Amino acid sequence: MSERDPMVHIRMSAELRESLQEKAREANRSMNAEIVLRLETSLSPYSPVPLLIAGSGDISSPEQELVGMWRSMDSEARHAFWLLARRLSGTNPPEI
């Protein structure tokens, strides 16, 4: 990130801020880096977040476990996982 990147000021609850601070601290990142990473991840074509936001009711325990695994992966692991899942499901992986 450069100093020329635009700055954005947002409001959030104290609880959300504390949660983000804790996650950033655990990952040894700044708050800014944590927020940017989470936003980039949620907008990635490989992210399960849009599916969860769209909501099709409750998700099962195995689905929750997969989401938890996904969230613990870095972007390279997520990409590999996505390609493997697409191959196993019989769909063609996206061209990247």
Per residue in 27-38, pLDDT tens? Answer: 888 999 889 888
Output phi, psi for 74, to 5 deg: -80, 175
12-21, 44-53, 60-69: least confidently modelled range: 44-53
Q: What is the DSSP code (8-state) at residue 82?
A: H
Q: What is the mean pLDDT of residues 83-95?
A: 75
Q: Where are the alpha helices (DSSP H) in the chain?
A: 14-26, 31-43, 49-54, 61-72, 75-89
pTM of the model: 0.50
Q: Would you place residue 94 in the very low, low, confident or very high pLDDT band (cuts 50, 70, 90)?
A: low
Report residue 87 CA to chain centroid gap: 22
Q: Tokens representing 64? A: 């929750």
Predicted local confidence at residue 12, as pLDDT: 94
Question: Quick one: pLDDT band at residue 53, thresholds 50, 70, 90?
Answer: low
Q: Is the dihedral of CA 66, 67, 68, 72 positive or negative?
A: positive
pLDDT given for residue 76 in this prediction: 86
Q: What's the confidence (pLDDT) of residue 16?
A: 94
